[in-house]
């Protein structure tokens, strides 16, 4: 398993948290995802043999937020 913290802009409310945690959490290979709304950060624990970091970033982007 790999752990990383992503800086994400555009998140401002509970819906944002649910959208990111839900969409990333649904990816095969993602063990855990936690949004820290006030810091604009997303912690992700994932299996790089099942899902790439690029796919995780793309999924966040698809929800309308930007990984910086």
Q: What is the pLDDT of residue 42?
A: 98
3-state class (DSSP) for residue 27: coil
Over residues 45-64, the pLDDT tens digits come to 999 999 999 999 999 999 99
* pTM score of the predicted model: 0.94
The dihedral sign for the CA sequence 42, 57, 63, 23? negative
Average pLDDT of the residues of the chain: 97
pLDDT at 29: 98
């Amino acid at each position: 398993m790999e752990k990383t913290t992503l800086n994400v802009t555009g998140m401002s409310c509970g819906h944002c948290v649910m959208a990111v945690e839900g969409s990333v959490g649904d990816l095969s290979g993602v063990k855990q995802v936690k949004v820290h709304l006030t810091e604009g950060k997303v912690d992700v624990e994932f299996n790089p043999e099942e899902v790439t970091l690029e796919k995780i970033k793309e999924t966040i982007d698809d929800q309308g937020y930007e990984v910086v």
